[in-house]
Amino acid sequence: MKIIEARNYHDMSQKAAQFIIEKVNLLASPVLGLATGGTPLGTYKYLREDHLNHHTSYSHVYTVNLDEYVGIPPDNEHSYFSYMKKQLFDHIDIPRSHTHLPDGMAKDLSAECHRYEDLIKLLGGIDLQLLGIGMNGHIGFNEPGTPFSSKTHLVELTSSTRKANARYFDSLATVPFQAVTMGISTIMESKQILLLVSGAKKAEIMAKLLNEETNKDTPASVLKRHQDVIIIADSDALALVKERSRSY
Ligand code: PGA
């Protein structure tokens, strides 16, 4: 894993956007794996600005998102589809038919999981997967204990994840209990992975990730087994890593 230290959230976001733009300019038909949540908001803002000011084109880009809530219609403001439209898709020239998220409204969710895996294969796999990390080490909605062999699957959200995401909803009671997420093995099959980590609240999980051996209780630790992972973390997120390495 290669670690790039950013000064702060904005610096992290700028560096991540630059990384994505280079990939978009380099490849003939890049497949980007995208993430939602608070961490990539700044990255998407820089991508929007860059598209406006430097006209980077996304007409040849395909996207697959990590996850989607179950039971929230795409046009509902809380769906990850709405998030992606608002933060990125509505502001760049990507054809809507090139953008994909799991369908959390599918009647047969198990068939939907298979369809999503097949779709990723059909697109030729993910060239660059953007990831955040949960405070409990989850990636996508792969909570602690998820088998490393998992493909796209239906998950019951843990209460800590529901609480963490309640800030986007009117109340905790309205946060969905289930989601469809790419599995750990789906993520690990990406050719390259870009993990973004920001803020003091992620310092503990960063220290755990970097100091512990790969284990199922910290799903993100599986990334140590991938040959091309870049972590862009800001100094607040790296504070404990540095403190602990100084005390050895
Ligand atoms: P966050 O979420 O970016 O909102 O911190 C990350 C995650 O839970 O994967």
* Phi-psi group of 190: left, alpha or beta (phi > 0 → left; psi -120 to 50 → alpha; rest → beta): beta
- CB of 222 within 6 A of ligand 1: the answer is no
- Span from the CA of 192 to the centroid of ligand 1 (angstroms): 19
One digit per residue, pLDDT tens: the chain, 248 residues? 999 999 999 999 999 999 999 999 999 999 999 999 999 999 999 999 999 999 999 999 999 999 999 999 999 999 999 999 999 999 999 999 999 999 999 999 999 999 999 999 999 999 999 999 999 999 999 999 999 999 999 999 989 889 989 999 999 999 999 999 999 999 999 999 999 999 999 999 999 999 999 999 999 999 999 999 999 999 999 999 988 876 65
Find out whether 221 and 215 touch, Cβ atoms under 8 Å: yes
CA dihedral 17, 22, 25, 29 (to 10 degrees): -80
Q: Is 228 helix (H, G, I), strand (E, B) or coil?
A: coil
> Domain 2-247 belongs to what topology?
Rossmann fold (3.40.50)
Output the pLDDT for position 160: 86
Residue in 98, 100, 138, 153 annotated catalytic:
138
Pocket test for ligand 1, best of 44, 67, 87, 133 (most atoms within 8 A of CB): 133
Q: For the chain, give me the number of helices (H) and strands (E)?
A: 8, 10
Domain limits, the chain = 2-247
Helix boundaries (H) for the chain: 9-26, 41-54, 80-87, 109-122, 159-165, 184-188, 203-211, 235-246
pTM of the model: 0.96
In this structure, the residue with its CA closest to atom 8 of ligand 1 is 134
Helix (H) or strand (E) holding 197: strand 192-197
